[in-house]
Amino acid sequence: MKKKVYIKKFIQYTFLIILGLVIIYPLLWLFFSSFKVDNEEIFGSLNLIPAKWTLDGYINGFKGSGQYGFDLFFLNTFILVVPTVFFTIISSTIVAYGFARFEFPLKKILFSLMLATLMLPNAVVIIPRYILFNYFKWIDTYYPFIVPAAFAGSAFFVFMMVQFLRGIPIELDESAKIDGCNSFVILLRILLPLCKPALFSMGIFQFIWTWNDFFNPMIFINSTYKFTVSLALRMTQDTATIVIWNQVLAMSVLTLVPCIFIFFISQKYFVEGIATTGLKA
């Protein structure tokens, strides 16, 4: 009987490990190939591990092919992503507080409107937004990302925060109110400390989505010296006639590193974030 259980476990684990290898294999291939010497080795050999490790891909790739190196593109991406994340957290929390804790006229309609924008495809609004931002002289700047974030542009995060705030007992607010706290102090002193997990989840998701976004930067940013890493990576495919793959792969690895780093230090929030709000991608 006991033996049977062991065999079953053995089969289950074997299967899980093989499946894990299949899933992770493309990433391993990416990682190891970025240390290979040249295209010939990358495409000619089936070995996963490089015959001779080299950092050429990283060194030459980082310099970039044109005038600008990846140091600039990384810096640009941070300049775009960090304020976007920061303002998303602040604005979404404030707006969610308004929806979760106050009764005012038209609240239901406004809340439904906000939820409806969750279903609105980006493609429908992208052209008028481009025209609008062009009118504001915001094209080729990072304002099209940062300003909407400051005005709670992502309904997903507002909704996530509302859900979270609803889970916090309202008695806490009420007793603070009796003690004479005004509404902003209640948010700041009482609710925010309790919201930490949700704030983390929000920051993590927004960081990763903005970091990986390609469509919007491609539309709103034209000048090479303002490119984000995703635009710069895409550029490697059309500038050179012969693609030097170890450089492309090395830079791909580097752009994935911040996401991997965040994922591993904050896994708990990741899974919770998905499980509690039930969303996305």
Partner 1 sequence: MKRNNKNIMKIHKKRKWGYIGLVYISPWIIGFLVFQFYPIVASLIYSFTDFDMMGNANFVALKNYIYMFTKDRDFYNSLKVTFLYVFYAVPLKLAFALAVAMILNARLKAINIFRTVYYLPSIFGGSVATALLWRFLFMREGAMNNLLAVFGLPDAGWLSSPKLALFTLSLLTVWQFGSSMVLFLAGLQQIPGELYEAAKIDGASRIRTFFKITIPLLSPIIFFNMVMQTVNSFQEFTGAFVITNRGPLNSTYLYVMKLYYEGFQYFKMGYACALSWILFAIIITVTLIAFKTSKSWVFYTSGGGR
122-161 residues in contact with partner 1 (CB under 8 A) are 122-132, 148, 150-153, 158
What is residue 21's three-state secondary structure? helix
The CA angle 99-216-74, to the nearest 5 degrees, is 105
* Least distance from partner 1 to the Cβ atom of residue 67, Å: 20
199-258 residues in contact with partner 1 (CB under 8 A) are 208-209, 211-215, 219, 229-231, 233-234, 237, 245, 248-249, 252-253, 255-256
Question: Site for partner 1 (CB under 8 A): which residue of 1, 2, 6, 46?
Answer: 46
* Least distance from partner 1 to the Cβ atom of residue 263, Å: 5
**43 touches partner 1 (CB under 8 A):** yes
Amino acid found at 161: M
Q: 3 or 123, CB closer to partner 1?
A: 123
91/148 Cα distance (integer angstroms): 10
* Least distance from partner 1 to the Cβ atom of residue 229, Å: 8
Amino acid found at 99: F
Print the binding letters for residues 75-114 with partner 1: x by CB under 8 A, - otherwise.
Answer: ----------------x--xx-xxx-xxxx--x--x--xx
**178 touches partner 1 (CB under 8 A):** no
Q: 79 or 235, CB closer to partner 1?
A: 235
* Least distance from partner 1 to the Cβ atom of residue 66, Å: 17
Find the DSSP H helices in the chain: 2-33, 39-44, 56-63, 70-101, 107-118, 122-135, 143-150, 155-166, 170-178, 183-185, 192-194, 196-212, 215-220, 229-239, 245-265, 267-277
Q: Six-digit token pair at 247? A: 């450089």
Cα–chain-centroid distance for residue 194?
A: 23
Give the number of residues in contact with partner 1, rule: CB under 8 A: 86
